[in-house]
Structure 1
C-alpha cells in the first residue's frame, strides 16, 4: 500500500511515529509537504504536483497533518486527493468543521452531541441580557480558531466578560462565550478516536494558576478509563464531523459528559507516552482495513 503523509516537517513526533509504523508494517509511505503542493486543472483529471513532480494517482491513502496556520491551503490539497478517489482519514469537510469552533458547535448540536451552554453574538445591544442565558457568573471566552489553549480566556464575572467581549469585538475577533463548568475542576478528557472506537484516553489537569488543562499550557496528564457513555459520545462526535481519526475533548459535568472541542490533527506524543498505546499503529491498521478490505 502507498501512503502520503501530508506534513510540513518529518521531524515532528506524530509525523515520525506514523511514518515508522507504516514502514514497519511493510507499506510505502512518503512525507509530502502540502504547502509545497499545487493543483493543475484542465479538461482532463486534475493533477496534483509536489514541487515539480506530478504525484496524481500514486497514493492509495493520505494522512493529513494540517496545522491551523495552513488550513485553507491544506484543505484544498486534501479535497483534491479525495476527488481523485484516494482514501483519507480526515476528510476536508471534517477538517473545516473542526477548525472553526462555531461550525463545530453547530454541527454537534444538529447531531445531538451534548455541549456546554454556548452563546455566539456580535450584538452589543442584547449581549448583557443574553449572558444571563448561561449558567453561573463565570464564563469561558474562546476565539473561533485556536489550538493548545491559545485564545481561551476565563472571565470571573459578568462585568469582566462584557469588557473582554467588547475588546475582542473592537478588534474584529469573533468569539464564543460558554458557561464555566465548575465541577470539571480544570480537568478535561482527551479521547483518541480511530474508526469506531476510542483507542486511548487521558485526563488533562490544569497547571498552576491556569484554568486551561492543555499540556502545552503546563497541564499534567494521567490515564483514565472512559465510561460507556463517554466512549459513545466521543465516537459519535468524530463520525458526525466526518473524521475517521480525531482527538475529542470532553469534560465531566453534573449533567453528564460534554464535548468542548474536536481536533482533526490531534498530536500523538502526550497521549502515547502517557498510555503506552501504539496509536500510530492503530491508525495504520485502520487505513489497511479501509483500503485493502
Structure 2
C-alpha cells in the first residue's frame, strides 16, 4: 500500500507526521510526504499523467491520500486534493470537507441543518450591535 500525506514542507517533521511515518514503517506501508505547493496540475483526457510533483510527472498514484493542510489550506492545495479525487484516488478528507471545516460559520450552519446540537452562534461585524447581543444572548 502506498499513502501520500499532503502537508506543507515545514510540517514534514511535525510530531504527528513523524508518528505516521513510524507506524507506516511498522506496518510496511510506503508513505510519501507531498507539499501541494510543489505540485503542478495539467488537465488532459488521459488523466493519469496530469499531476507533477516537482518537475516530474507522477508515474504511479497512491492508494490513499491524507490531507494534513489544516486551516492553512489554500485554493491550490484544495485543487490538488480535488484533482486526486477526480483521478479516482481514495482521499481521506475530501476537498469539500476540508473547505467546510475552514469556515466556522458554514460548519455550524451545516451541523444545525443536520439536527446536530450547536451553541447559538453570531456572525458579528464591526461595529458590533450590542442590542442584538443583549436580545439574543
Aligned to 1:131: 133
Structure 1 residue runs of 4+, over 3 Å off?
A: 121-124
Write out aligned runs for 1:86-125 (5 A). Answer: 86-122=89-125
Report the CA distance shift for 1:57/1:83 in structure 2 as closer, same or farther (over 3 A).
farther
Q: Are 1:78 and 2:85 an aligned pair?
A: no
Q: Are 1:26 and 2:62 an aligned pair?
A: no
Structure 2: distance between partners of 1:134 and 1:57: 55
Report the CA distance shift for 1:3/1:120 in structure 2 as closer, same or farther (over 3 A).
same
Aligned to 1:3: 3
Cα pair 1:2 1:29 within 8 Å, conserved? yes
Q: TM-score normalised to the size of structure 2?
A: 0.86
The structure with more strand, counted as a fraction of residues: 1
Q: Are 1:40 and 2:21 an aligned pair?
A: no
Aligned to 1:194: none
Report the CA distance shift for 1:7/1:100 in structure 2 as closer, same or farther (over 3 A).
same
Query: Structure 1: any 5+ residue segments left out of the alignment?
Result: 136-293
How many Å apart are 1:56 and its aligned residue?
Answer: 6.0
How many Å apart are 1:29 and its aligned residue?
Answer: 1.1
How many Å apart are 1:69 and its aligned residue?
Answer: 2.9
How many Å apart are 1:7 and its aligned residue?
Answer: 1.6
How many Å apart are 1:8 and its aligned residue?
Answer: 1.8
Structure 2: distance between partners of 1:43 and 1:2: 25
Q: What SS class does the counterpart of residue 76 from structure 1 fall into?
A: helix
The structure with more helix, counted as a fraction of residues: 2
Report the aligned-residue RMSD: 2.1
Aligned to 2:72: 69
Q: TM-score normalised to the size of structure 1?
A: 0.42
1:157-179 per-position Cα deviation (integer Å, ceiling 9, x unaligned): xxxxxxxxxxxxxxxxxxxxxxx
Query: Structure 2: any 5+ residue segments left out of the alignment?
Result: none
Write out aligned runs for 1:142-161 (5 A). Answer: none
1:66-92 per-position Cα deviation (integer Å, ceiling 9, x unaligned): 043343221111111111111111111
Q: Would you say how many aligned residue pairs link Structure 1 and Structure 2? A: 134
